[in-house]
Chains A and B, each alone.
Chain A
Amino acid sequence: MGRSLRRVMGSALAYAFILAVTLPVILLYVLLFLTSFATDMEGIVPKGFTLKNWEFIVSGNIRVPGAEYQYPNLYLVMGNTFLLAISVAGAEMFLASLAGYAISRFRFRGRSLLMGTILVLHAFPGVALLIAIFYILNALGLYDTLVGVFIIKVALDLPLAIWIMKGFFDGIPWDLEMSALIDGCSRFQAWLRVILPNVRNGLMAVLIFGFLSGWSEFIYILTFISSQKYWTLSMLVYAFTSGEYFYINPGVTATIAIIYMLPVVAFFLFAQKYLLRIQIAGKGVV
């Protein structure tokens, strides 16, 4: 009885601690939803409820507060965001799976140096590279294009993705691959048919990280995009949350924030089981 009570008390304390830690975050989300449906807020309590803040999602037309001018259409902006996020995720998964495999399985001159420098590259803060990136984009004729931002994102995210994939490949025993080769597979066939299915979780992890990275991209859009037709949702949220607060409409701002957030939450729920299985460290060749 005493032990059982202690167990219950222990659990209760643990739950209380978790609740205390997560409550502020949960409250933020709750407030965001309340604000988007509120006519106005009295502190953290809505004065009344309305669907007016959601009206713009029918046409996608969003007026600049204080003017008749409209920001780029919501669906164009969402389309750009999806395009960027999906292409970044896909490219990172594809390239990291090849590079991670090569680094994990092949011995070649400069391999250790490459492994070390890859991580150093990831350590550079993106902001520090803005000028250099501009010159590269300029030389490639990719300034003010989403393709330019896509290339930057993939290039800067790839080191971590490669390391993640290398860890997964390291965890696959050589024997498995050898068996495939003995059975007549080419190296590419062994990679594609035998190895890749065994690193599904890793691929999903890279895909998820890539998607989230592309979806939330802001600084490169802000710096290297001047045409509003290439805006992504992060710019729209920025437009609504910055500047003088007299022009800020909290209801519409909260709604846009929710629109920005929901796809990520949905994607995260779908992919959660893969994230939980991530084991980056492996036992492969070092």
Chain B
Amino acid sequence: MRRGVSPTVAGIAAFIIGLIVGAVVMYAIAGMGAAGGVAREEYEKLLKENEKLKAKIEELSKKLQAAGAKEITLKGWIIAPHPPSEYRLKNIKIAAEILNKWLKIMGANVRIKIDGEFFVRPVEWGEYKNKFYLAAKAGKAPHIYLTGHEDIGFLADNGYIIPLDDYIKEYWDVVYYDVISTLWNAVKYKGHIWGVPQDTEVRPLYFRKDILRKMGWSEEEIEALPKKIEKCEITLWDLLKIAKEAKDKGLVKRGILHRVKEGYDYFQFYLAFGGRLWDPDKGKMVFTKHAWKKTLEWFHKAVWEYGVISPNQFSGDWDKDFHGPFTKGEALFLSGGSWHKGEWISKGLLTEESFKENIGFALHPCGEKGMKPVTLSHPLVYTITKQAEKDGVAEIAFILITMVTDPHLNAFHAVKSSHLAILNSEISDSRYTKDWFLHDVAYMLKYTTFIPNHPKWGDYSRIVFNILKAVESDKSLTPDKAFETLLKEIQRTLGDAVIIEE
């Protein structure tokens, strides 16, 4: 599995490592005043690492000078269905610029050129993935490919990406030690690491404080709601009752909004009812019967008994049936994502002030008493493709990813797009700390789950979506009947890939 690192690349890496560690040292020093001081031994350790790296840089510059003029073009594909996430590509370009400046200072004739494709509107995930598949088949895949972590299984099994264990080990002390440890679970598959986390998020349950006020809730009660949800004092069933009350009083047109297209958000309800999606030991997906039964029952009742979810919600429009009604105060709850806050403000649907005044956010409540509240994260990850290996640029592509995985650069992206930090030191970045929302939702990461990195996850997800959509739109489809169909379909399609448990 180990891939050798050429002396040239190792030299460049050493130089970068020096600068990054230097930055970390400065960062630590700068943070001393506010944080009450960094441990002396920590500072000494960073300084020592820096000295060690300086020697490597000297070695590198000599080797680079001996090399002829050369331009290395790195092709990167980056997706941002939400335009505010444009720093995903910008950061790569910034990192390449910095690298080129360093190389120039060192007198090396090697330059890095970024041929970046930014898949923004009109590209959606499905189209992006199809394009990658076609490009990979045609031998024109990018070298760096940003994608959802759940694709790792498929990409790895089909040989589209390469494992990164050796590189991560090599550069562990540069930055990877700083990655929030739970995120590594999202990039592991079959015992290897296949990607580097780029960003993550949580999926809060947003609620309208102004509506709750009109319902007679006191400010204290409203402020206490997230805590009550965290403690499982409010369940998903209670949510239906509150939403129904708001609707019955004519305060809202819709009680609860959830996503309008296929996705992963609604798996949170299954998780809240005690369901499991992934068995890491066996490397298989999981179908928890009792949790699915409860989930289907909850959705059926939400639509047909309580009338708080529209029967057409899954066929709706993002703007008319999701963002619009909630930001206009026509709906009480919204099962959304942390990035939506940034999106609403960038779209002009809400201001920072109106968000703070009227919108609250909490975990998704536990299904029933004694269970746990949940959220779901979907980290995007940088992968290095087989194409990069074929073109002999895998190492330099990895170095660039290492540079991009920087607390300052990532904080730009996190703040602009309302994503969460991926590095521990990023949490104390001045830009990041100024964003009260990111700070306030960070605790949700303790309750987060990832969707499985299984090649057949797409099938599991699609089957669930079709059944949930049918439950919502067809009153005659009882939860029992829906459960039978769901189970049968999962077993038929996924076979041994899924563990069925009670």
Contact B347–A66 (Cβ < 8 Å):
yes
Of chain A, the residue at the smallest CB distance from B323 is A246
Write out the residue numbers on chain B whose beta carbons fall within 8 Å of the beta carbon of A224.
134
Supposing A143-B135, A144-B135 touch, asked if A246 and B121 sit within 8 A by C-beta, the answer is: no
Cα distance, A69 to B120, chains bound together (Å)? 9
Contact A247–B134 (Cβ < 8 Å):
no
Pick the residue among B84, B89, B117, B349 that contacts A246 (CB under 8 A): B349
Pick the residue among A68, A144, A242, A243 that contacts B140 (CB under 8 A): A144
- In the complex, whether B86 has a CB less than 8 A from a CB of chain A is yes
- In the complex, whether A244 has a CB less than 8 A from a CB of chain B is yes
A19 to chain B, nearest CB (A): 35
Contact B117–A228 (Cβ < 8 Å):
yes
Cα distance, A245 to B317, chains bound together (Å)? 10
Interface centre among B83, B117, B140, by most A CB within 10 Å? B83
- In the complex, whether B443 has a CB less than 8 A from a CB of chain A is no
Cα distance, A242 to B77, chains bound together (Å)? 21
Of chain A, the residue at the smallest CB distance from B130 is A223
Contact B86–A67 (Cβ < 8 Å):
yes
Pick the residue among A69, A226, A238, A245 that contacts B122 (CB under 8 A): A238
Write out the residue numbers on chain B whose beta carbons fall within 8 Å of the beta carbon of A247.
83, 121, 347
Write out the residue numbers on chain B whose beta carbons fall within 8 Å of the beta carbon of A10.
none
Cβ < 8 Å to A, chain B residues 74-115: 77, 80, 82-84, 86, 89-90
Supposing A68-B86, A226-B131, A227-B117 touch, asked if A138 and B138 sit within 8 A by C-beta, the answer is: yes
Cβ < 8 Å to A, chain B residues 118-133: 118, 120-122, 131
Pick the residue among A65, A143, A144, A238 that contacts B83 (CB under 8 A): A65
- In the complex, whether A239 has a CB less than 8 A from a CB of chain B is yes
A131 to chain B, nearest CB (A): 10
What is the 8 Å Cβ interface bit string for chain A, positions 223-267, against chain B (1 contact, 0 not)?
110111000000000110011111100000000000000000000
What is the 8 Å Cβ interface bit string for chain A, positions 124-148, against chain B (1 contact, 0 not)?
0000000000100110010110000
Count of CB-CB pairs between chains A and B under 8 Å = 69
Contact A65–B135 (Cβ < 8 Å):
no
- In the complex, whether A178 has a CB less than 8 A from a CB of chain B is no
- In the complex, whether A64 has a CB less than 8 A from a CB of chain B is yes
Of chain A, the residue at the smallest CB distance from B89 is A69
Cα distance, A69 to B78, chains bound together (Å)? 12
Contact B86–A242 (Cβ < 8 Å):
no
Of chain B, the residue at the smallest CB distance from A239 is B122
B259 to chain A, nearest CB (A): 13
Of chain B, the residue at the smallest CB distance from A235 is B122
Contact B346–A134 (Cβ < 8 Å):
no
- In the complex, whether B319 has a CB less than 8 A from a CB of chain A is yes
Of chain B, the residue at the smallest CB distance from A225 is B131
Cα distance, A245 to B83, chains bound together (Å)? 13
Majority DSSP secondary structure for residues of A touching B: loop
Of chain B, the residue at the smallest CB distance from A138 is B138
Pick the residue among B117, B120, B139, B319 that contacts A67 (CB under 8 A): B120
Of chain A, the residue at the smallest CB distance from B327 is A246
Contact A144–B121 (Cβ < 8 Å):
no
Write out the residue numbers on chain A whose beta carbons fall within 8 Å of the beta carbon of B117.
226-228
Write out the residue numbers on chain B whose beta carbons fall within 8 Å of the beta carbon of A137.
138
Cα distance, A246 to B84, chains bound together (Å)? 13
Write out the residue numbers on chain A whose beta carbons fall within 8 Å of the beta carbon of B86.
64, 67-69
- In the complex, whether B318 has a CB less than 8 A from a CB of chain A is yes
Of chain B, the residue at the smallest CB distance from A245 is B319
Write out the residue numbers on chain A whose beta carbons fall within 8 Å of the beta carbon of B140.
143-144, 226
Cα distance, A223 to B120, chains bound together (Å)? 16
Write out the residue numbers on chain B whose beta carbons fall within 8 Å of the beta carbon of A223.
134
Contact A66–B319 (Cβ < 8 Å):
no
What is the 8 Å Cβ interface bit string for chain B, positions 378-402, against chain A (1 contact, 0 not)?
0000000000000000000000000
Contact B121–A69 (Cβ < 8 Å):
no
Cα distance, A143 to B134, chains bound together (Å)? 8
A242 to chain B, nearest CB (A): 4
Cα distance, A242 to B318, chains bound together (Å)? 12
Write out the residue numbers on chain B whose beta carbons fall within 8 Å of the beta carbon of A239.
121-122
- In the complex, whether B446 has a CB less than 8 A from a CB of chain A is no
Write out the residue numbers on chain A whose beta carbons fall within 8 Å of the beta carbon of B80.
67
- In the complex, whether B137 has a CB less than 8 A from a CB of chain A is yes
Of chain A, the residue at the smallest CB distance from B82 is A66
Cα distance, A81 to B82, chains bound together (Å)? 28
Supposing A238-B122, A243-B121, A245-B319 touch, asked if A226 and B135 sit within 8 A by C-beta, the answer is: yes
B142 to chain A, nearest CB (A): 9
Write out the residue numbers on chain B whose beta carbons fall within 8 Å of the beta carbon of A245.
319
A41 to chain B, nearest CB (A): 17
Write out the residue numbers on chain B whose beta carbons fall within 8 Å of the beta carbon of A227.
117
Cβ < 8 Å to A, chain B residues 336-363: 346-349
Cβ < 8 Å to B, chain A residues 136-194: 137-138, 141, 143-144
Contact A226–B121 (Cβ < 8 Å):
no
Cα distance, A274 to B194, chains bound together (Å)? 61
Write out the residue numbers on chain B whose beta carbons fall within 8 Å of the beta carbon of A66.
82-84, 121, 346-347
A-B contact list, 8 entries, CB within 8 Å: A64-B83, A64-B120, A67-B80, A143-B140, A144-B135, A226-B134, A239-B122, A246-B323
In the A-B complex, list the 8 residue pairs whose CB atoms are closest, starting with the nearest: A66-B83, A67-B83, A143-B138, A242-B122, A243-B121, A246-B347, A67-B86, A138-B138
